[in-house]
Structure 1
């Protein structure tokens, strides 16, 4: 394994790894490592961002009450928004961004400086 660069990486619980993998693929992520015996995927995108998916026990996730979220910085915010059917907005804090929920209700916000 190559030594990773220092970074913070979110571990996102999901109820269906295949559905989550397909969702995050629309946001530009591909599988870097797959651990089926452990219900775990490591995803990466072309910009070097990483996201880990872990299979949650049945009944543990309630998409209507999921309080978790992940923020992704991506220069291709318009392309990614179109891929998930979202609209990009100019925010007062100087970012162009959109928000969408993954299959388990985790809030995903994607943005880039205006």
Structure 2
């Protein structure tokens, strides 16, 4: 039976991606091997994978991940406090579909959206 999903996103530079997710967003590196072309990070039961794509043009990258949280206001404020740039069109707001959301872009233009359901 299915138990989890681990999105795979492109990265141009493992060092830059690793720094962003570990040092800015508070993830930790996971996995038992460290390859130059692959990165796995996790935080609070969420795991993201990244594959090396050096030729990636960030302006043409449409990678996206939607992460659920149960503390959207606190998470948003923590990002502001740590000066993590919020997407210009992704400020914290309640969407017409009833979910409070905000978004950021990682160094490779992967869109990371955080949402809290009212269910």
TM-score, with length taken from structure 1: 0.79
Which stretches of structure 1, 4 residues or more, deviate above 4 A after TM superposition? Answer: none
Contact 2:38 2:52 in 1 (8 A): yes
Return the alpha-carbon distance in structure 2 between the equivalents of residues 70 and 77 of structure 1. 16
- Structure 1: 5+ residue stretches without partners: none
Contact 1:27 1:80 in 2 (8 A): no
Q: Pairwise mapping of residues 34-113 of structure 1 onto structure 2 (< 5 A)? A: 35-46=33-44, 48-56=45-53, 58-59=54-55, 61-82=56-77, 83=79, 84-86=84-86, 87-113=91-117
Structure showing the higher strand proportion among its residues: 1
RMSD across aligned positions (CA): 2.0
- Structure 2: 5+ residue stretches without partners: none
Contact 1:28 1:80 in 2 (8 A): no
